[in-house]
Amino acid sequence: MHDEIDPVVKKYDKALNQANPDKNKLFIQLSLEGIVFCIFNSELNKFLSIESLKFEYGSRISEVSLQLKDLYSRHNWLSQPFQSVKLLLENNKSTLIPSPLFDETETSAFSKFNFTLTDDEILLFHKLNNLDAYILYPFSSILSETVNELFPTHSKFSLSGVFIEALLIINKNINSLKRIYVNSRINYLDIAILDGRKLLYYNTFGYRTKEDFIYYVIFVIEQLRLNPEEIELILSGNVDKNSRIFEIVYKYIRNVSFQRKTESFNYSYVINEIPPHHYFNLINLELCEL
């Protein structure tokens, strides 16, 4: 039997028992580092629960699949009908293709510009409506089989696509204001630069140390000829004010803040106990539609 994993975060609103279950939506985030899932009730327009589990360092995708099955067997409510199930895949591979250039029959050729597809991966894509572009990304066939078995009706999303789409939606009423958005993950950081509602830049970088982290941030700022004394940098993900990452970012960038919760939704008091920037991409799955 697979060892049980103690949750890092486990927050459930008592109102979940009174909410209309037919209006519950399930969001799941999968990565080699762990699983996070939350429940959003569309009738209340409210997030009512979130649970996060962290895996041991060096986990493989087959182990993620086993952990998801184990989690499903131990949480009886996961087998109940949901209004919808959305799956967010966290990895470091993706590429953006403008809609006028996109050809579904050429996805394999497009992917080779940015990443190599392994034998265990299938190629997926979806349209980013607010960018008029497609995002192309790989997905493990092993994990795909597990998800299809547990949740026959679901939608898949890439973390990169959700990060970009959510930022564009949140900034849709801002005409001109350059900002750099940095999403911190374990071993990776995502950097997006927006000028109002226009995406100027996006990329993902791997890092090991805080020096690596700030190197890529400064590198991108210099490439776009921005002024670190003037640009506003907004952080999301697994970073806090007392972390070494924040400390070194603040040393080089004058104007640093954390991502706020999206005002389009309501949040249970149990969700408000968590820093608003921690699960930015998972929460904002509700903004993104295929």
Residue 2's pLDDT is 42
Cβ(234)–Cβ(182) below 8 Å: yes
pLDDT tens, 48-60? Answer: 999 998 887 667 8
Residue 7's pLDDT is 59
For residues 115 and 121, give the distance between their C-alpha atoms in angstroms, rounded to a whole number: 12
pLDDT tens, 220-242? Answer: 999 999 999 999 999 999 999 99
Residue 207 CA, chain-centre distance (Å), reads: 18
Residue 57's pLDDT is 67
pTM as predicted? 0.92
For residues 158 and 91, give the distance between their C-alpha atoms in angstroms, rounded to a whole number: 8
Residue type, 51: E
E strands in 115-184: 121-128, 133-140, 155-158, 178-184
Q: Count of residues for the chain?
A: 290
For residues 65 and 143, give the distance between their C-alpha atoms in angstroms, rounded to a whole number: 5
- Residue listed under structure tokens 């898949």: 156
| Phi, psi of 66, deg, nearest 5 | -65, -40
| Across 69-84, average pLDDT | 89
Q: Output the six-digit token pair for 290.
A: 């295929």
CA distances from 265 to 20, 174, 191, 284 (A): 17, 20, 25, 9
The yes or no reply on domain 171-258 and CATH 3.30.420.260 is yes
Closest CA to 25 of 10, 37, 7: 37
Q: What is the chain's mean pLDDT, rounded?
A: 91
What strand order describes the sheet that includes 95-98?
Answer: 95-98, 133-140, 121-128
pLDDT tens, 4-48? Answer: 445 588 999 998 988 999 999 999 999 988 899 999 999 999 999
Strand 46-54 to strand 266-267: parallel, antiparallel, or no bridges (unpaired)?
A: parallel
For residues 114 and 125, give the distance between their C-alpha atoms in angstroms, rounded to a whole number: 14
CA distances from 229 to 92, 225, 246, 252 (A): 29, 12, 16, 8
* Domain boundary assignment for the chain: 171-258
pLDDT tens, 169-218? Answer: 999 888 778 999 999 998 999 999 999 889 999 999 999 999 999 999 99
